[in-house]
Amino acid sequence: MPEDPQKEPPELGRGRLVDVAQALSDVARSLDAEPDLQHVVAGIVAAVTDTVPGAEAAGVSLREGRILRTVAATSDLVERLNAIEHELDEGPCVQAVLEHRSYRIDDMSTDTRWPRFAAAAQAQGIQSMLGYRLFTGSRTLGALDLYSSKLNAFDAEAEVVGELFAAHAAIALLGSTQQTEWQTAINSRDSIGMAKGILMHRERLTDQQAFTLLVSTSQKANIKIHELATWLVDENNDTARRPK
């Protein structure tokens, strides 16, 4: 159930707190070492089932505009459950992203907040679930779902541990996402620069004329300018490789 805003979150015992802190440190280091976004999300779902008490399976969905897309899951079952939740547009994951909260279902058969999703999840053998928003500051990256085939699998302590884990995972995810975005931007800039050089040489154009030609062609063809530039560079490379 959603956490009562009037209640303080439960405190972890000192020994348990040390264990959780160590686990989170290990997870943070392992995620930080991953080379790309796909490895990071795969590391998140693998680590969360070992970190959060009661978690048997997990999935990460990333936000693309108003759409959630599953990018990593511990099993085909999670893929199906996430797809159902996204298609129905209801459930802990969807609600957490929309309302910036975490949600818990203790018993799918009695939960009335998302009846269609709860019925579908129960039909797949899932009885309990946790859903977290993955965010940093004001930026929502997506959601983390944890599943169990047991009733009341997640207690208040598990919910707190999951929230701590989600915070660490979001930071690692943001870093990887930004790195991917920066690399894409760099690659796009390089491709456009090379494409301009090709047009300048072929058509005897100035730098500005070559760029204007790229822009007008991309608009007429209804494709992004960096995709047109990449195609032009690839086409030029293929021509250069052909035996004369």
Residue 142 predicted with pLDDT over 80: yes
pLDDT attached to residue 179 = 53
Residue 129 predicted with pLDDT over 90: yes
| Choice between 224 and 160, residue whose per-residue pLDDT is larger | 160
On whether both 60 and 172 belong to a single domain, the answer is yes
| Six-digit token string for 157 | 């302590």
Summarised one tens digit per residue, pLDDT across range 20-71 is 656 665 665 555 555 567 777 788 888 889 889 999 999 999 887 778 888 8
On whether both 148 and 193 belong to a single domain, the answer is no
Average of pLDDT values for 167-189?
65
On whether both 126 and 205 belong to a single domain, the answer is no
Instruction: Tell whether 97 is covered by a domain.
Output: yes
On whether both 87 and 189 belong to a single domain, the answer is no
Strands (DSSP E) contained in the chain are 57-64, 67-73, 103-105, 128-136, 139-148
Structural domain boundaries, residue 38: 14-180
| Choice between 148 and 139, residue whose per-residue pLDDT is larger | 148
The C-alpha atoms of residue 137 and residue 130 are separated, in whole angstroms, by 21
On whether both 176 and 218 belong to a single domain, the answer is no
Instruction: Tell whether 111 is covered by a domain.
Output: yes
The C-alpha atoms of residue 113 and residue 108 are separated, in whole angstroms, by 10
Instruction: Tell whether 58 is covered by a domain.
Output: yes
Residue 139 predicted with pLDDT over 90: no
On whether both 188 and 167 belong to a single domain, the answer is no
DSSP string, 2-17: PPPTTSPPPPPPHHHH
| Choice between 90 and 26, residue whose per-residue pLDDT is larger | 90
Split at pLDDT 50, 70, 90, the class of 6 is: very low
Q: How much is the pTM?
A: 0.64
Residue 118 predicted with pLDDT over 90: yes
Average of pLDDT values for 101-112?
94
Instruction: Tell whether 48 is covered by a domain.
Output: yes
pLDDT attached to residue 138 = 72
Q: What are phi and psi of 12, to 5 degrees?
A: -90, 145
Burial of 171 (0-12, 13-18, 19+ CB in 10 A): middle
On whether both 192 and 171 belong to a single domain, the answer is no
On whether both 162 and 191 belong to a single domain, the answer is no
Instruction: Tell whether 139 is covered by a domain.
Output: yes
User: What is the domain count for the chain?
Assistant: 2
What percentage of the chain reaches a pLDDT higher than 90?
A: 30
| Choice between 113 and 223, residue whose per-residue pLDDT is larger | 113
| Mean pLDDT taken over the chain | 81
On whether both 167 and 119 belong to a single domain, the answer is yes
| Six-digit token string for 204 | 């005897």
Instruction: Tell whether 2 is covered by a domain.
Output: no
pLDDT attached to residue 5 = 45
On whether both 23 and 58 belong to a single domain, the answer is yes
Select from 158, 180, 202 the last residue of a domain: 180
Average of pLDDT values for 12-16?
56
Split at pLDDT 50, 70, 90, the class of 3 is: very low
